[in-house]
A and B are shown apart, each in its own frame.
Chain A
């Protein structure tokens, strides 16, 4: 079964540190999404790419978050500096048509 791979699965960091999350989308999928899940806000779109070009990053706090796709096999989400309110599960998903596949997420805790 093809799957979206996210690393790391868990990350605990101190406030102010840089955090980088990585995602390997399913080969052949042309659209990659970053979502964040919290109890309070549910699932929120942060950014997404099609054919590696950013389409929408309006859900992302631009002063501290950045998302990139350096190549078709890698998407990254970076937070610098991290804050306790960034604690959440970050999901990457990829798709081509008829819905998309989520990874298992990176659980980020900022203390």
Chain B
């Protein structure tokens, strides 16, 4: 079973802090790595994604760092806000068009306290 390992399981950060969520994968064939954000009662929503030809991608306050040799990638949220409190999932797929089946991490429940 192809796996994506995600940590931590839960995270509490003060407003303005920088939560960091980490993921590691085994299958070197993976070539598309998205992060999804999920609020209670809603489906996951694509936040940001990276392909292995770059080491970092930034969109607004969200940054993915990617380390191909270590087979790890992480999500950083700058200037975190209470509205960022949600569950975050990393994922990976083979086929970098972004519409192939995803293998998801187990999720990180993030709480931003005022």
Q: Tell me the A residues contacting B by CB distance below 8 Å.
A: 4, 30-31, 33, 42-43, 45, 48, 50, 55-56, 91, 93, 95-105
Contacts and interface: CB of A to CB of B under 8 A. Distances in A.
Given A43-B89, A98-B49, A99-B34, A56 B43 contact: no
Contacts of B42: 104-105
A100 B99 contact: yes
User: SS class of chain A's interface: helix, strand, loop or mixed?
Assistant: strand
A95 B42 CA distance: 17
A97 B98 contact: yes
A105 B45 CA distance: 12
B101 interface: yes
A45 B103 CA distance: 8
Contacts of B103: 45
Given A42-B106, A42-B107, A95 B99 contact: yes
B5 to A, nearest CB: 12
A105 B44 CA distance: 10
